Chain A
Amino acid sequence: MNTKKTTALPSGAATPWILAALMLAGCNPVTDQKHAADKTVRISIVGSSTMSPLLSEMGKAYEQETLGTRSDVQSGGSSRGVMDVRAGTAALGMVSRELKADEGDLHNVLIARDGIGMIVNADNPVTGLSKKQVIDIYTDQITNWKDVGGDDLAITVVSKAEGRSTLEVFSDYFGISYRQIRADVIIGDNQQGIQTVGSSVAAIGYVSIGSAEYEAEQGAAIRLIALDDQFPSTESVASGNYQISRELNLVYKEPITEQVRDFLTFTRSSKAAELVSRMYFIPVTP
């Protein structure tokens, strides 16, 4: 009797070696890019959600001008920008306020100015509020829109989570401490705020003017309202008529690479200023 004995061992033993070989081949990092002249330099930029769309655009424009660079923009709040730059995980931090006294170890480059405006739903008839009315709304002294000239609806107050610089600027200007704010919904970044106000007729919130104008142009159902008869717009902030304005800074820790320094110079060029205006912020370089 001639039985063919095939054991599993020979074919089975080959499999792990084949797999290992494939895995090692996959581990090779520079495959097609071996042909590129220089390796791609990554510039990581982390921080304020107000500034991330702007820095995204600047990054894209810079990538087109200078080959071999790539910018990674992440939001997470101004405080995160500061933290990541200090820890070394980001090259640049986006901070949408002035630097504080204990942030002296960082250098900053002012790239634009921005204002903070109150927004309401596009279907809300109210067109302006006084400073005192805003303070009363946010501390639950006024709870119905009819008390400020609107419809008979309970006001849905939207505020930002602690740690966001938009909240800090708001709280400083109106003189309301964090504990005094009585909100109905707390949101994280500008996009969430705009989405919340846009989907609820009775909502009021505060966001960066640049984001609000940009999103309204894209079709979001929100409207900026005047504060003390001053309408928030890039012109009124630039001229100083509108009070609530803040700096938009890029922070970094020395030493930085040549590439990063070159990028910083680009952010203060006229091309970048054009991008700043297009996104409804106020450029600082003419």
Chain B
Amino acid sequence: MTPATLSLALSKRQGWLFWPTLSLLALMAALVIFLIVAFLLREGSPLFAQGGIARFFTDDGWWPLEASFNMTPMLLASLYLTMGALFVATPLGVAIALVTTFKAPARLAQLLRNLVELSAAIPTVVYGLWGVTSIVPILNMWSPPGASLLAGILVVALMIIPTITILTQSALQTVPQAYIQGSAALGVSSSQTLLRVVIPASSQGIFSAMVLGAARAIGETMVVLMVCGNIVQVPTSLFDPVRTLTANIALEMPYAMGDHRASLFVAGLVMLLLVSALVALGEWASMRQRRMAP
């Protein structure tokens, strides 16, 4: 190819930078995740070198200044909080989505949708402030100290309802009109149509809404730090104060030194594994769904 034809070819081929640029950006995003994992491993390695992995589940308790790093109570607290929040938020989120998609008149539905989107955008620390000044004193009257697993579940559930609602709304909107019309033609009542036809048809979308809500709940730090009491223990009742892994990192990182600091990075790794397991679960469920679909 002569120089003349080469430059002609290049100038004619507009947008030749498009795919290389996009691929580079995609690679960078993936690289960042790997770098974070590598960073966590490196900072936590002094502890791994000392005693292996089992000690994080078999030590006496969480007494970091005395080299005892049992994370089990905090791990369980994170899991219970997430499951509890999902348990409370999913029915409410699906209900809001059903009402705005199928029942409410257009103007009201739009208003509700806007409200939901607004509450999705509120910074979570604002939820935490509200939780500390409103929810905790109310629970305190019922069963002291008020700051407890239940307070965390309630506030985090409130936080993830918008996420679940918005995703469920888009899932519901993809249900073919034919299903609903066919159901009506058969004389099925609207409640039965929704429960027996629409929801099963959009179950994959609802499930991914739940997975995303769970991911948001498990990573929540500020709210939990403010309303959960921060006691390291396995909760035996909803009113027990707990400390989750995320709140622990926020509480102790500013002044942790040496091994204590390394243990917090290990906690970060555990969080990362938890969230990966959650996402993998979501992927597996949607794969099963796709295979089962006709």
Name A's B-contacting residues (CB within 8 A): 76-80, 83, 153-154, 156, 161-164, 178-179, 183-188, 195-196, 199-200, 202-203
Q: A161-B230, A199-B136 are in contact. Are A179 and B61 (CB under 8 A)?
A: yes
CB within 8 A of B254: which of A77, A179, A195, A196?
Answer: A77
Q: A184-B145, A186-B230 are in contact. Are A76 and B254 (CB under 8 A)?
A: yes
Task: Report chain B residues within 8 Å CB of A186.
Answer: 229-231, 241, 243, 251
> A161-B252, A186-B231, A186-B241 provided; 8 other pairs, C-beta below 8 A?
A76-B254, A79-B255, A162-B64, A179-B60, A179-B61, A184-B231, A186-B230, A199-B137
Q: How far is the CA of A171 from the CA of B140 in the complex (A)?
A: 27
B285 within 8 A of A: no
Q: How far is the CA of A188 from the CA of B63 in the complex (A)?
A: 16
14 A/B residue pairs, CB under 8 Å, sorted by A = A77-B254, A79-B256, A83-B257, A154-B144, A156-B145, A161-B252, A162-B65, A163-B256, A163-B260, A184-B229, A186-B241, A187-B230, A199-B136, A199-B140
B146 within 8 A of A: yes
Q: How far is the CA of A183 from the CA of B230 in the complex (A)?
A: 10
Task: Report chain B residues within 8 Å CB of A183.
Answer: 231
Task: Report chain A residues within 8 Å CB of B145.
Answer: 156, 184-185, 200, 202-203
Q: A83-B257, A186-B243 are in contact. Are A200 and B251 (CB under 8 A)?
A: no
Closest beta carbon of chain B to A246's beta carbon, Å: 17
Closest beta carbon of chain A to B215's beta carbon, Å: 26
Question: Is A200 a contact of B255 with CB atoms below 8 Å?
Answer: no
Task: Report chain B residues within 8 Å CB of A80.
Answer: 254-255
Task: Report chain B residues within 8 Å CB of A153.
Answer: 144
Task: Report chain B residues within 8 Å CB of A196.
Answer: 147
Task: Report chain A residues within 8 Å CB of B64.
Answer: 162
Task: Report chain B residues within 8 Å CB of A184.
Answer: 144-145, 229, 231, 241
Question: Is B63 a contact of A178 with CB atoms below 8 Å?
Answer: yes
Specify the chain B residue showing the minimal Cβ separation from A164.
Answer: B255
Question: Is B66 a contact of A178 with CB atoms below 8 Å?
Answer: yes
Task: Report chain B residues within 8 Å CB of A187.
Answer: 230
